A and B are shown apart, each in its own frame.
Chain A
Amino acid sequence: MREGDTVASALYRAGQRIFTRSFKYHRPRGLLCCSGNCPNCLMNVDGIPNVRTCITPARAGMAVRHQNAKPSLDFDYLSVAQKFDFMMPVGWYYKRFTNPKMWHLAEQQIRKVAGLGDPPPPDVPQAVYEHSHMHADVAVIGGGLAGMEAARDAAAGGERVVLVDDQVHAAHPSEANFTLLERSYCFGLYEGNLLGVVQKEPHAQARERLVHIRAKRVVIATGAYETPLTFKNNDLPGVMLSSAVSRLIRRHGIQPGKNAVVIASEAGDPNLAGDLLSAGVNVVATVSPSDVLEAAGGNHVRTLRTKRGNFACDLVVMCGHRIPDTGLLSQAGAKLEWSVSAGAFIPVEFPPNVSAAGDVLGTELKAAAALPAPKESTNKRTFVCMCNDVTTQDLCDGVAEGFDHIELLKRYTTTTMGPCQGRMCQLQAIGICARETGRTIPETGVTTARPPNPGVTLGALGGARHHPTRRTPMHYQHEKLGAIWMDLGDWKRPRFYAHPSASNERECVRQEYQAVRQKAGMIDVSTLGKLSLKGRDAGKLLDKVYTNRFSDLKPGRVRYAVLCDEAGIILDDGTISRQSEDEFFITTTTGNLDFVEQWLEWWMAGAGLDAHVANLTSAMGAVNLAGPHARDVLSKLTGCDLSTAAFPYMACRNADVAGIPAILLRIGFVGETGWEIHFPAESGEDLWSAVMEAGKPFGIRPFGMEAQRLLRLEKGHVIIGVDTDALTNPYDAGMGWVVKHEKEDFIGKFSLGKLADASAQQNLVGFLMNSDALPEDGAAILVNGALAGRVTSARYSPAKQKPIGLCWVPASAASEGAAIEVRVNGSPVAATVTRQVFYDPEGSRLRM
């Protein structure tokens, strides 16, 4: 290995000639482009698949392995596939596998042999990827002569410039307004001049960084690159592009072969002869592309047969078509036009704030050989698409079979759909399509250019593996209490608490349930949405947006609130309490807080109301303290009169709890006397500790979401989004009473008016299992043997000593005592509909 070596050049210097086996036929492939444009050098490096070894700097200790060749690159037993090429014509999947069963069998085998690299096994240490963002006045893509000049000029003019180049630069720009991103490539130019750039190894700890660049204007200076010529066996190792040969010689000091044939028209690289001479390569002959018949050899080229004679050689140097790298320009919407002299599509019209410089303009290019390839080169060994082994024969057959539009021909043959994304093959494919359909090349056109091109790793797209997590103010106290966590969106909430006296989850939940029903329990409900609505028009706004009336809510009172849309569908529920004449405190469900805030803001936008919403969800924590001893516990911590006379059910008060200013709502989601206490988040730990301490003599237990679900289910309390869905209106859900039709106008008035009169198709009702079988949430409901509804929530009820739940049933089965069946473990089990609340139907426990 020498300094400056790429993995490929180091391997080549050591004598490696076959680098890959092709996708379909497993033909041997060697270095072709040495510039990262073709698929021939893809290998596994240090566990990373599909590494373009010709542009990857070599490092001592790198583990390099071949891909998709068994047992070795020199002898791949799957190369026998070539002998069966008659069974695999273009589109052969569609032709052969017309029987679905056959396809399923074949697919399993095809999957084993198809593809190139394999994903790294799970035990390979994860690499670090990151993202970053830049804002620039000018972004220049390509650091060659033209790009560097454009960047320097812009920087000198005071603009903030970023230059993206794939090479390493010895000297870096010194101006503060000029940033050079080296070892970077741009894969996409998106709307608003957003560029997607991958920077390799931005620092020691990271493998790749995805840089998002937002630029006021973009200069594309991506240059031009060389593409292969078409002749039989043009894919043999030893057949290389002239630019690849020059690079191996000049950059790496390698002699690419001993005896070479050069294929060139007039427009060849003038420096090539000098390079070959300096490397001691004997040029056996120089032939014109139109004279070439075929290359021949086994694993490596041995002869080039031409109309001028056959030449023994170990190197064929193709002076191929140079075409401008217009991918990014096309993505941006630039117009390309066919230039006969250049033999390429060159950019002629540019969208605003996008321009080009240098060879990508195509003005200096000259066609290397006649396009398209002549009809005589139609055979099954003249390769157009190296990535997917698509031959000139395949393309002609595709057109003959009716796929005569270039976009169809592309998809049918899979030309341009491999790792090179059309760089090596698109132009030849267009040429053949044109010739076969009798159209001109401009009439045939190009396929749509889309990002990412070149490809980008999923790791780079994903970036740093960081998932935002939300924690309540009492998170660490739950940890200490043995919380078993569950995720609710970004939030972490205790599902239940592990307890030394309980051997499993069921027992823990049962104990928590018993504590709330018989003693006292506290649950962290900080995740609930909390909004403050202030202003003279606050009540008016609430009347307009909610179904219930709130302008007549007295200060110190709380009311259940349901939000519907104009179609009468329930969007969310919660509570609204009036703090003062002009101030309301709104709670929402955890999941819908963002939506409710947006909804309220929307109805206020431009309405000229004196009303303002503040989102207090993160600013405040909250707990629900409930149970027959809740009052005993709370009264130790507050001077507020908690008696039912002074503080009835559905009232609210402001008071200090453990010295912390709090809003107390006497509401009853879990069905026991209790208070929802809201307080500043920074004091959450102190408040929780104080309550737990005060509750010790009464046997207070913290309770989690599982216990809460059970407690509320026994009260028949509906959870929006669990028991209701995107089609539920208040009448279906048995909440028609929340709709106050006499209000002059409110969101949903029209639809709800119609729904009130119509008979509901489906009803949300309670049910009791007739046996001990416990259904899952979502289980099917059968009426008279036919599928008729579903269970939304089901749990074993200690109060009823039977499984209970809520379910959707047709109106005909929605009456008290109706017989239904619930599917449990695949079998229908008898159950009975009930409209009665399962626990404390009169609600006396709430009003103690």
Chain B
Amino acid sequence: MKRSALHRWHEKAGATLSEENGWSAPLRYSSPEQEAGAVKRSVGICDLSHIHEPLSPYARLLISGPNARLLLSKLTSLNLDRNTSYGTVAHVRGMVLRDALGFLVLVPRDYAESVWDAILHAGEEFHITPFGLEAHRRLEA
């Protein structure tokens, strides 16, 4: 089974994991309704690393919610008006893409845990909530 760099974190957080595209991916941490609600109220983070091109170096993190921009601006000097930017997030070089649900942060997978932790830490101010694929589908609908 292919694993995201955040795999251990999801396990420790008690996520329900399932196979997605050959990858182990987090479906939910608590309940999809609660997770989606928290995201809509403030901000959440979702590991979408299973959406992966062959030989891509990146882990894929979605930051979604009304406070997504404020949260990201604590971690990057990028001008977040652009659709696609190369730049550093939490001192790690990667990319930020604008997404229908917020911002996709792409960082090399060896740095992914470090960046995930930095996002959670900066997100404490906004009561950031990790959310899984089920909540993600709800938000997309």
Contacts and interface: CB of A to CB of B under 8 A. Distances in A.
Interface of A: 130-135, 202-203, 205-206, 212, 214, 464, 466-473, 476, 490-491, 526, 532, 614-620, 680-686
Given A472-B110, A618-B110, A685-B3, 11 more contacts: A133-B73, A214-B77, A466-B91, A468-B90, A468-B114, A470-B111, A473-B3, A473-B5, A473-B110, A619-B55, A680-B55
Contact of A680 (B4, B54, B90): B54
Given A134-B73, A616-B57, A686-B1, A466 B121 contact: yes
Contacts of B78: 133
B28 to A, nearest CB: 22
A685 to B, nearest CB: 6
A491 B108 CA distance: 13
Contacts of A470: 108, 110-111, 114
A256 B39 CA distance: 53
Contact of A471 (B49, B57, B113): B113
Contacts of A132: 73-74
B109 A618 contact: yes
A681 B111 contact: no
A737 B77 CA distance: 48
B108 to A, nearest CB: 4
A716 B1 CA distance: 40
Contacts of B56: 619
A491 B113 CA distance: 12
A680 B124 CA distance: 34
Contact of B77 (A133, A205, A469): A133
A618 B110 CA distance: 6
Interface string B87-107: 000111000000000000000
Interface in B31-56: 49, 52, 54-56
11 contacts: A130-B74, A133-B74, A135-B79, A464-B74, A468-B114, A470-B114, A472-B110, A490-B111, A616-B57, A620-B55, A681-B110
A212 B88 CA distance: 15
Contacts of A466: 90-91, 114, 117-118, 121
B138 interface: no
A473 B117 CA distance: 17
B140 interface: no
A769 B93 CA distance: 46
A205 B127 CA distance: 12
A618 B91 contact: no
Contacts of A467: 114
A435 B52 CA distance: 74
A619 B110 CA distance: 9
Contacts of A471: 5, 110, 113-114
B125 A206 contact: yes
Top 10 A-B pairs, shortest CB-CB distance = A618-B57, A618-B108, A682-B2, A133-B77, A470-B110, A619-B57, A469-B114, A132-B74, A203-B125, A619-B55
Contacts of B125: 202-203, 205-206
A131 B1 CA distance: 38
Contacts of B2: 680, 682-683
Nearest to B76: A133
Contacts of A684: 3
Interface residues of B, number: 37
Most chain A beta-carbon neighbours within 10 Å: one of B57, B108, B111: B57
A360 B8 CA distance: 57
Contacts of B76: 133
A682 B110 contact: no
Contacts, number: 94
Interface of B: 1-5, 8, 23, 49, 52, 54-58, 73-74, 76-79, 81, 90-92, 108-111, 113-115, 117-118, 121-122, 124-125
A361 to B, nearest CB: 32
A620 B124 CA distance: 33
A684 B4 CA distance: 10
A464 B52 contact: no
Contacts of A532: 55
Contacts of B5: 471, 473, 681
B111 A469 contact: yes
Nearest to A594: B93
A616 B55 CA distance: 7
Contacts of A618: 57-58, 108-111
A443 to B, nearest CB: 43
Contacts of B113: 469, 471
Nearest to B77: A133
A617 B57 contact: yes
A476 B55 contact: no
A407 to B, nearest CB: 34
Given A471-B113, A618-B108, A464 B122 contact: yes
Contacts of A681: 5, 57, 109-110
Nearest to A616: B55
A685 B57 CA distance: 16
A134 B70 CA distance: 9
Contacts of B74: 130-133, 464
A612 to B, nearest CB: 13
Residue of A134, A212, A467, A469 with most chain B CB atoms under a 10 A cut-off: A469
Contacts of B23: 682
Nearest to B74: A132
A708 to B, nearest CB: 20
A615 B57 contact: yes
Contacts of B114: 466-471
Contacts of B110: 470-473, 491, 526, 618, 681
A595 B1 CA distance: 34
A682 B55 CA distance: 10
Given A212-B77, A682-B4, A130 B122 contact: yes
Contacts of A476: 8
Contacts of B1: 686
A673 to B, nearest CB: 29
Contacts of A491: 110
Nearest to A479: B8
B89 to A, nearest CB: 10
A562 B94 CA distance: 29
Contacts of B3: 473, 682-685
Nearest to A527: B110
A682 B90 contact: no
Contacts of B54: 680
Contacts of A616: 55, 57
A134 B3 CA distance: 36
A764 to B, nearest CB: 32
